[in-house]
Amino acid sequence: MGNRTAEDWLAPLRERHLIPEGIRAAFVVGSVARGWHNPRSDYDIYVVSDSLYAAETSEAIPVPLEPSFVTVEVFYAQEKRWEVKYWSDSQIDQMLAKVSWDAYERGSIPGNALASIEELTLARLGHCLPLIGADWVEERRSQLGRTAFRSFAIARSLGAADTYVEDALGQMEAGDLESAVLSARQAFGHAVDALLEGEGEFGSHQPKWRANRFKAATPGVLTFDEYWAVETLQTYDNADPLPWIKMVLALCQDIAMRVDVS
Amino acid sequence: MNHVVDRSESVPRRVLGIRIRRMKDDFLIGDEDRALLIEDIAAFIFASLDGHRSTTKVAQLVAQEYGVDEGTALADVVEFLGDLADQGIIEW
């Protein structure tokens, strides 16, 4: 992030006494950490400590973990909105345990393994910018790589794609082509998410970044231009939607053929 | 044998809506509780169905990959694809 040092990032937090005791790590996440930010982007920072930080000013967000919430502090500085989210070290352990190979092989339902906030948090470990505790971040990345997180994410996305394909087929059979077009678009989005997750590009709960994630992953199955042509309906013919719908559904299947879920 | 000749120039396609999961080089086809596992040479054949290749062309790929003669490969491919067609997994 330009010439900004870790201390430059941490100074506004220190001034506001937002660095807790027992801190294990602090890291920048989101668009800034990926280099995808724009002049209106917020600054998002995660802080992990032994005990969950909570102050009177903290907002609590429920999570299916113990403790059953994470806390958030929001402030404005340097003409930016800063959002600092606090996790306990134990909560990170619990999320990693939810996506263990044991859990995967027991048949845990992929879409239910993690709440969106949990999946996004684990996904963000892969591309964060450590400010404190670089070793902690590296160890957690390594642990994540030994879990079935990738397989869970792929299976979830392919399952969602299958559901929309089924919807599109039914809508086509009923002659409801407008709905079928929308379902095909949804199916394609999830199929591409699976493809990107197969390449280690997670974060499919934020489809606004799909094009950027695609460019970062450069999957061999589709070129960016091929992907973008479908995403932006370049060959869609409103007078005859059926060929486009069938092409997209076949493409979803081609992607499923190529993405290894194991 | 006539069945083999009949299908040789047909283009087999995977039926849209069939659930497919790839595991390394193998495929699980259909719903998990009654999924069909396609392995080894069958997986190679299934992966070769791109909606453009004829059955003969698929058999040629099999012959090259596994070192068998094209006639034998064609007969085996037609038989395998016939089974898949009976199960609604591919169509001609």
Which single residue is written with the structure tokens 């950027």?
A212
Q: What is the ipTM of this complex?
A: 0.89
Cα of A144 to nearest chain B Cα, Å: 20
Average pLDDT by consecutive 10-residue portion of chain B (92 residues)?
Answer: 72 94 94 84 95 94 95 94 93 90
Whether residues B22 and A257 touch (CB distance < 8 A) is answered with: yes
Q: How far apart are CA A192 and CA A168, in angstroms?
A: 17
Which amino acid, one-letter code, is at A85?
K
List, in order of start, the domains of chain A with CATH numbers: 6-147 (3.30.460.10), 152-258 (1.20.120)
Task: Give the per-residue pLDDT at B2.
Answer: 61
CATH code at B2-91: 1.10.10.1150
- Give domain limits for chain B: 2-91
Q: Which of the residues B13, B15, B16, B48 would you substitute to probe the A interface, choosing the one with the greatest number of A C-beta atoms within 10 Å?
A: B16
Q: Judge whether B15 is closer than 8 Å to chain A, CB to CB.
A: no
Average pLDDT over residues A202-218: 94
Among the residue ranges A59-63, A76-80, A102-106, the one predicted with the least confidence is A102-106
Q: DSSP states of A10-44 as a string? A: HHHHHHTT-S-TTEEEEEEETHHHHT---TTPPEE
Whether residues A253 and B18 touch (CB distance < 8 A) is answered with: yes
Q: Judge whether A187 is closer than 8 Å to chain B, CB to CB.
A: no
Q: In chain B, which residues have their Cβ closer than 8 Å to the Cβ of A162? A: 19
Q: Judge whether A135 is closer than 8 Å to chain B, CB to CB.
A: no
Q: How far apart are CA A222 and CA A216, in angstroms?
A: 13
Q: In chain A, which residues have their Cβ closer than 8 Å to the Cβ of B27? A: 257
* Separate counts of helices (H) and strands (E) for chain B: 4, 5
Task: Give the per-residue pLDDT at B32.
Answer: 65
**pLDDT tens for residues A129-185?**
999 999 999 999 999 999 999 999 999 999 999 999 999 999 999 999 999 999 999
